[in-house]
Chains A and B, each alone.
Chain A
Amino acid sequence: MTNLSIRWGGLLVVTIVLVVLTYNHYQDNITSLVPQQVRKEAPTGEIRVLGMVQGRTLKTREAGEATFTLLGKSATLPVHYQGPPPDNLRELKILILIGTWNASTQVFEARDIGIVPNYGFIAGAYLLGLLPLALFLFAMTRRVNFLYEEIKASKLYEEK
């Protein structure tokens, strides 16, 4: 195995490990449910729910407390939010709520509000930024090795 293959093989392994770690990290943190799933599965513990704030349902009581209805495709969830004063809580806004589902009161008790993440754009930017550089560098390194071999084979330095 040549030195070039070892170096690039090592780099590829490190890249794959990094990609798997990142993918797992995001899977753990971004997986969100939709209102119909919450109604059907009644999950316990903290969950993330994705939906749109239904029009004319948002009532803000005081800074950091609000009630509204979260709209999914085929179900809605009454939400009671209590947490940091939200900047992005508006009617018809799609967002992610973090909190717990109270099965007895049938109200989702949210403690935080997140923006819908655009992971496609992030993955696209990193792929576009790094992949061409890696391919370009690989092609150049291979060409340098090839030229060295060619020059050696043509015995350039043995001539007068």
Chain B
Amino acid sequence: MTIHRVIRKVQRFQGWFGGGAALCLGAGLYLGLIGSPPDYYQGEVVRIMYIHVPLAHTSLLGYTVLALGSLWYLWKRDPIVDNMCQAVAALSAVFTALALGTGMIWGKPTWDTWWTWDARLTSFTVLLLILIGYIMLRTFVDDHEKEARYGAILAIIGFVDLPIIHFSVEWWRTLHQPQSISMRGVSISSGLLAPLLCMSIGMSLLFSYMVMVRTQLLYLDRLLHAKKGRLLSQFHLSKSDS
């Protein structure tokens, strides 16, 4: 089964992804804002975690999909996968920017600063710059085949940043707290874990749903452009014939 068949099959369940995202995010927001207790040290401000962490996780997940899709594109030159990669890149950039923004808001009451050149924050900003670079590359190169190929190469090279982001809190002494959920176990109380999981699942489903909508949008946009181009050339041909 080729990958674009898988994409088409998954797209049939688009509505389920959207509904699932709405349900999980609704439950997560209720648990996060009303149902969960405040943190012993941070107090109420800990509730920002339920929006910041899922956004950050989802942007990393999005970049992983982009890198894998780019590898697949370079191997098979599948235009549907390329379309999906382009959709994923734009959405990952939005999620990354929002993760940085919510992190800055969380940083002010906890660290008493909006921004610091901390290893985690800096490597995450580099990820945003890579994504912006990818989008610019796809916008300004005229040849579609070339833009897809260069974009895929950039996405694969940029993947180096992901392990740096992940391990930055262990490799360097940082202000950013270490991971609460890792292979070593879970260092977060169940009262705080439930809304975090709910929001993370909801955000991943929302991201998948948005990718499906954007992939569709890019496909239809290209279809319409091709159609208009064909009509225009037919019109010119008929003009020159007459």
Asked if chains A and B come from one complex, the reply is: yes
Query: What residues of chain A have their CB less than 8 Å away from a CB belonging to chain B?
Result: 11, 14, 18, 21-22, 25, 87, 114-119, 121-122, 124-126, 128-130, 132-133, 136-137, 140-141, 143-144, 147-148, 150-151, 154, 156
Tell me how far the C-beta of A17 lies from the nearest C-beta in chain B, rounded to whole angstroms. 10
**B224–A121 CB distance below 8 A:** no
Q: How far, in whole Å, are A132 and B55 apart by their CA atoms in the complex?
A: 12
User: Residue B223 at the A interface, CB < 8 A?
Assistant: yes
**B105–A144 CB distance below 8 A:** no
Query: What residues of chain B have their CB less than 8 Å away from a CB belonging to chain A?
Result: 22, 26, 29-30, 33-34, 38, 40-45, 47-48, 51-52, 55, 94, 98, 101-102, 105-106, 108-109, 206, 209-210, 213-214, 216-217, 220-221, 223-224, 227-228, 231
Contacting residues, chain A, for B216 (C-beta < 8 A): 144
Q: How far, in whole Å, are A138 and B162 apart by their CA atoms in the complex?
A: 30
Q: How far, in whole Å, are A149 and B48 apart by their CA atoms in the complex?
A: 41
Q: How far, in whole Å, are A122 and B101 apart by their CA atoms in the complex?
A: 12
Contacting residues, chain B, for A130 (C-beta < 8 A): 51
**B52–A129 CB distance below 8 A:** yes
Interface of B is mostly: helix
**Given contact pairs A114-B43, A128-B98, A122 touches B48 in the complex (Cβ within 8 A):** yes
**B224–A147 CB distance below 8 A:** yes
**Given contact pairs A114-B43, A144-B220, A132 touches B213 in the complex (Cβ within 8 A):** no
**B45–A18 CB distance below 8 A:** no
Q: How far, in whole Å, are A126 and B28 apart by their CA atoms in the complex?
A: 12
**Given contact pairs A18-B30, A21-B34, A132 touches B217 in the complex (Cβ within 8 A):** no
12 A–B contact pairs at CB < 8 A? A87-B41, A117-B43, A121-B105, A125-B51, A125-B52, A126-B48, A133-B98, A136-B210, A141-B213, A144-B216, A151-B224, A151-B227
**A132–B94 CB distance below 8 A:** yes
**A151–B223 CB distance below 8 A:** yes
Q: How far, in whole Å, are A42 and B119 apart by their CA atoms in the complex?
A: 52
Please tell me which one of the listed residues A25, A126, A128, A148 contacts residue B34 in the complex, with CB atoms under 8 A apart.
Answer: A25
Q: How far, in whole Å, are A114 and B224 apart by their CA atoms in the complex?
A: 60
Contacting residues, chain B, for A117 (C-beta < 8 A): 38, 43-45
Contacting residues, chain B, for A148 (C-beta < 8 A): 220
Contacting residues, chain B, for A128 (C-beta < 8 A): 98, 101-102, 105
**Further contacts, 11 of them, CB under 8 A, given A129-B101, A141-B213:** A18-B30, A115-B38, A115-B43, A115-B44, A122-B48, A124-B105, A129-B102, A133-B210, A137-B213, A147-B217, A150-B224
Contacting residues, chain B, for A156 (C-beta < 8 A): 223-224, 227
Minimum CB distance partner of A11 in chain B: B22
**Given contact pairs A150-B224, A156-B223, A129 touches B44 in the complex (Cβ within 8 A):** no
**A21, A87, A114, A130: residue with the most chain B Cβ atoms closer than 10 Å:** A130
List the 9 closest A-B pairs by CB distance, nearest first: A115-B43, A147-B220, A117-B44, A129-B51, A125-B105, A125-B48, A125-B102, A118-B109, A140-B213
**Given contact pairs A18-B26, A22-B33, A133-B94, A121 touches B220 in the complex (Cβ within 8 A):** no
Please tell me which one of the listed residues B40, B106, B223 contacts residue A125 in the complex, with CB atoms under 8 A apart.
Answer: B106
**Given contact pairs A122-B45, A129-B51, A154-B231, A144 touches B217 in the complex (Cβ within 8 A):** yes
**A140–B102 CB distance below 8 A:** no
Minimum CB distance partner of A7 in chain B: B18
Contacting residues, chain B, for A122 (C-beta < 8 A): 33, 44-45, 47-48
Tell me how far the C-beta of B27 lies from the nearest C-beta in chain A, rounded to whole angstroms. 11
Please tell me which one of the listed residues A116, A136, A141, A154 contacts residue B94 in the complex, with CB atoms under 8 A apart.
Answer: A136
Contacting residues, chain B, for A116 (C-beta < 8 A): 43
